[in-house]
Amino acid sequence: MSSKPIHNISFHAICAATESEEKVKKALSIFIFGNEIDIIKTEGHFGNPISILTATIRGNDSSRFIEILKSKLPEHDLQRLKKEIYDRVDDNCVLHIRFDKQAAYCGNAQLATTGDTISTEIKLRTYPARREKAIAVAENIFRTKPLSFADTFTGDTPS
């Protein structure tokens, strides 16, 4: 079994016709550490151009993202995230987080309160792949007290 509790982290941001694609790339770039950003061009309902920017990080970049998130996210957002873990993990063992795109453009990590977001999907590594185990892994990732290697995968908490 791998020592990493995360398979990968995917990011998605929508760039409307009224937005600068370069600015949305800049906002996304604070989370992806120089990894490639893919752009899908499409049209809105009324024919307006829309770009969907996506990126995925793995391995050490995933660990780096979590450490930066835990240190840069405002304390009230971190507490909100911890409180909402159960609602944010789906049946596919994915933890969903939406970041404020405008705050990210300014170099800040902040949970979204509007629809202008960078959607983040953290694919959690669990065996067997069950939501309950994924919730325990997510809780352990955002725990402030250090855990042992085994605790990260079993969902056990330190005594």
For the ranges 13-17, 33-37, 122-126, which has the lowest average pLDDT? Answer: 33-37
The whole-model pTM stands at 0.86
Band of pLDDT at residue 104, cut at 50, 70 and 90: very high
What is the chain's mean pLDDT, rounded? 89
> What domains appear along the chain, each with residue ranges and CATH number?
6-151 (3.30.1440.10)
Tell me the two tokens of residue 112: 């979204």
**% of the chain exceeding 90 in pLDDT:** 78
